[in-house]
Structure 1
Amino acid sequence: MDPDSVDSVDRVPHGSSDDPDVLDFSANINTRVPDGARAAYDAAFAESRSYPPDDYSEFRAAAAAYVDCDPEQVVPTAGGLAALRLAVATAIRPGESALVPYPSFGEYAREVELQGGEPSLVPHDDLLDSDPEPHALAVVCNPNNPTGDSYDAARLREFAVRCRESDTLLVADEAFLGFTDEPSLAGEPGVVVARSLTKLFGFPGLRAGFAVDGRESERLETARRAWSLGWPAARVGTVSMRETAFIRATRERVARERAFLERALATEFTVAPSDSPFLLVAVPDHERLVERARESGVVVRDATTFRGLDSHMRVAVRERGENERLLAALGVDVPE
């Protein structure tokens, strides 16, 4: 991190509410957790009296099977954001530039700026047409947050090749890819993939994730903190990534509920196509609508905090009864 840059960089707003009296649609978290997660968490209590083994061999093996890569390429991190920071910190020098999409996750530009780099902001839809050659780093969010759409897999791999030929590190944030059937870039030469276990497995407070380093380098492994996962995160993450039936059922349920919400919301508003556990909705007078929902005990994400969006909200996909409550809070009729 560049000490001279820290004072000029701001925090980034995020979704999520810690108010127990509201229904939270502002954070895109699975409403369910794998069956084995609680037992793994409880068993980790006694283990937490000692340091975890820093090689994390079981976690790496489970992660490698989960995204189809070599276990030696897996770098355990405390969440997907920690993987992103590690990738950016080991790639950007002060004064260097990075291709960063918008509207997208605000932490990309922030992490580049913390290293003294210069974010070169490009519309999300145009990023794969950009020339990576002048940049030390390029970031893709797939599927993109907050728009929800995935990149075409063939075009994304073509862009990865162009980045590699330009000696530009491609960082692929796949925080929501587990909700889709789209292929991962994990193990692709010259690419660092950041994966979060927060969203798909429903435990954001556990801070579990990993990077996959597709380069012939040990830079990420060398730079990561010792004991980068606590025992609970390592154990629960390992068990969860092996729950293939849970992952399949989650994808089916989220796709079904997303279609239900999209159909209803589209009768009143403009809804962006999504492959993700959330929908981006363009609404007139968004401040009034966000406040109306809050008065009904429902919190949605004011998406105008994302660069390029001026009258939008983002809503998570939850269980059917909760989704119906969201519609009622927004004044939208529930479909027959």
Structure 2
Amino acid sequence: MSLIHGGDINGYIMQYGKPPLDFSANINPFGIPHGVKAAVAAAIENADAYPDPLCRKLVNAISQFEGVPSDCIFCGNGAADIIFRIALALKPRLALIAAPTFAEYEQAADTVGCKIKLHHLKAENDFMLTNSIIEQIDSNTDIVFICNPNNPTGQTADVELVKAIADKCRECAAVLVLDECFADFLDEPLKYTFKPYLNGYGNLIILKAFTKLYGMAGIRLGYCLCSNIDITQQLKKAGQPWAVSSLAQAAGIAALKENDYVKTTRELIKAERKYLYESFCKLGIKVIGSQANYIFFKTDAEDLDSILKDYGILIRSCSNYHGLDNTYYRIAVRTHGENQQLIAAIKHITEIHR
């Protein structure tokens, strides 16, 4: 399976000689907040010194923001860094992954020679996670990866289902890695987060990232929450000590203060997600899930991603996800003008190929 992701702007520029309108990466269309830019600029003055390997100021800020003790927090070079550290630290022998989903779970597990067991989400159920996954968790399962909301489908699992999965994992001595990196884009994020149950599950790791919500993909900063201090200590030992730069630490501290930015972002995403959904429906395109800041859809127009490149637009083909083909695509929710440009291009393409 190819591990190419969205957001390959550089590859597009090399081919077309100009930057695209990028719908392929699920990044906040507002870009990096001004407060974060200012914090990074100020932090450059001290960039000649090594960063704090323990990220103490950042961890304290996250602790206050999340309402979680600081010793239950570990920061990394993006959520992907933490996923790989989890594999390196815990060295699981068998991983259960609900697919299609984020490719890094499988890649990280494969790095340590871990056997992969896929729980295939069904197209006839719109790729919803159901309690059927619980039957696949047994005493041989070392680790389970769940993405909520799931990438690329945008489907969510309710707290009751996640709790049942966590209970079965605990019963079987398996670690549950719950990726909530896109939860902040939900209309009701508090309704879906499993954070209130953190203290009750020593086998639970919740992943979070600054990448998407704060438009900080190039800065690389993520963190995890885990009440099992032994696990957080193992994560610290599983990689290099200076994984989080001083600039990233300053950016994270500043980002957590951007309440108005987050509020405005959620308002935009909610309105524009509705606009895109309705626009796709008018074009006869099936939209699946899509409760976060991206739209997952199926169309008869094969190679739509390649055709849209000639319109200056990048979208994410989902053909390299398990169980999907080149009729499935994912687009980020962007500003209204940008979304209108995308819809106009797709409408033109569908009319030509009718």
- Give the alignment's TM-score, normalised by structure 2: 0.86
Residues 332 and 237 of structure 1: CA distance in aligned 2, closer, same or farther (over 3 Å): farther
SS class of match (1:271): strand
Aligned with residue 148 of structure 1, among 135, 150, 154: 154
Deviations 1:12-59 (A, max 9, x none): 110113234310111100012323111101011111110122222221
Q: Secondary structure at the match of 2:50?
A: coil
- 2:189 partner amino acid: E
Change (3 A) 1:255 1:128: farther
TM superposition shift of 1:107: 1.4
Residue 31 (structure 1) aligned to one of 29, 32, 38: 29
Partner of 1:3: none
1:271 and 2:259 aligned: no
| Counterpart residue type for residue 71 of structure 1 | S
Q: Residue 280 of structure 1 contacts residue 312 of structure 1 at CA under 8 Å; is this kept in 2?
A: yes
Mapped contact 1:153–1:182 kept (Cα < 8 A): no
Q: Contact 2:159–2:194 at 8 Å: present in 1 too? A: no
Q: Name the CA distance, whole Å, in 1 between partners of 2:135 and 2:22.
A: 37
Aligned 8 A contact 2:89 2:237 in 1: no
CA change 1:297–1:76 in 2 (3 A) is same
| Counterpart selection for 1:132 from 137, 146, 170 | 137
In 2, the alpha carbon distance for the partners of 1:261 and 1:67 equals 32
**Could you list the runs of 4 or more consecutive aligned residues of structure 1 that deviate by over 4 angstroms after TM superposition?**
none
Q: Does 1:237 align with 2:246?
A: no
Q: Confirm whether residue 104 of structure 1 aligns to residue 101 of structure 2.
A: yes
- Secondary structure in 2 matching 1:305: coil
Alignment partners' CA distance in 1, 2:46 and 2:229: 34
Give, in angstroms, the shift of residue 197 of structure 1: 0.8
Whether the aligned pair in 1 keeps the contact of 2:88 and 2:238 (CA below 8 Å) is no
- Which blocks of at least 5 consecutive residues in structure 2 are unaligned? 122-128, 350-354
After superposition, the Cα gap between the structure-2 partners of 1:54 and 1:299, relative to the gap in structure 1 and judged at 3 Å, is same
Q: 2 CA distance for matches of 1:26 and 1:234?
A: 27
What is the CA–CA distance in structure 2 between the aligned matches of 1:130 and 1:247, rounded to whole Å? 38
Please point out which of 2, 5, 15 is paired with 2:6: 15
Could you tell me which residue of structure 2 aligns to residue 7 of structure 1?
none
Mapped to 2, the partners of 1:244 and 1:165 lie a distance apart of 39
Q: CA deviation at 1:79?
A: 0.2
- Structure 2 partner of 1:251: 266
Using the alignment, how far apart are the partners of 2:208 and 2:348 within structure 1? Answer: 35
1:205 aligns with 2:221: no
TM-score by length of 1: 0.90
In 2 relative to 1, CA 21–272 (structure 1 residues): closer, same or farther, beyond 3 Å? same
Q: CA deviation at 1:254?
A: 0.6
Alignment-mate amino acid for residue 266 of structure 2: R
Deviations 1:213-249 (A, max 9, x none): 2224132233342122101110001110232222222
Q: CA deviation at 1:158?
A: 2.3
Return the letter of the residue paired with 1:58. Answer: K
CA contact (8 A) 1:83 1:195 kept: no
Q: CA deviation at 1:120?
A: 0.3
**Alpha-carbon separation, structure 2, partners of 1:266 and 1:194:** 33
Matches within 5 A, 1:172-321: 172-180=178-186, 181-183=188-190, 184-186=193-195, 187-188=198-199, 189=201, 190-217=203-230, 218-267=233-282, 268-287=284-303, 289-310=304-325, 311-321=327-337
**Deviations 1:140-198, CA, capped at 9 Å, x for gaps:** 00110000111111211221122112110001112211212334334342211221211
2:177 aligns to what SS in structure 1?
A: strand
What is the aligned partner in structure 2 of residue 89 from structure 1? 88
The residue type paired with residue 143 of structure 2 is L
What whole-Å deviation, never above 9, does each CA across 1:278-313 have from its counterpart, x for those lacking one? 1111000321x2233111111111111111112111
Distance 1:167 1:36, change over 3 A: same
Q: What residue is the counterpart of 1:48 in the other structure?
A: 47
Give the number of aligned pairs: 321
Question: CA shift at 1:128, angstroms?
Answer: 4.2
Unaligned runs of 5+ in 1: 1-9
Between the two proteins, what is the percent identity of the paired residues? 26
* Cα pair 1:185 1:191 within 8 Å, conserved: no
Measured after TM superposition, the shift of residue 60 of structure 1 is 0.6
Quote the Cα distance in structure 2 between the aligned partners of 1:291 and 1:191.
40
Report the secondary structure of 1:44's partner residue.
helix
CA 1:21 to 1:227, structure 2 compared with 1: closer, same or farther past 3 Å? Answer: closer
Q: Give, as a single letter, the amino acid of the residue that structure 2 aligns with 1:57.
A: R
One-letter amino acid matched to 1:68: G
State the SS of the aligned residue for 2:296: strand
Contact 1:12 1:106 (8 Å CA) reproduced? yes
Q: Residue 120 of structure 1: which of 102, 117, 121 is its match?
A: 117
Once the two structures are overlaid, the 10-residue window that deviates more, 136-145 or 80-89, is 80-89
Taking only aligned residues, the RMSD between alpha carbons, in angstroms, comes to 1.8
Residue 90 of structure 1: how far off its partner (Å): 1.6
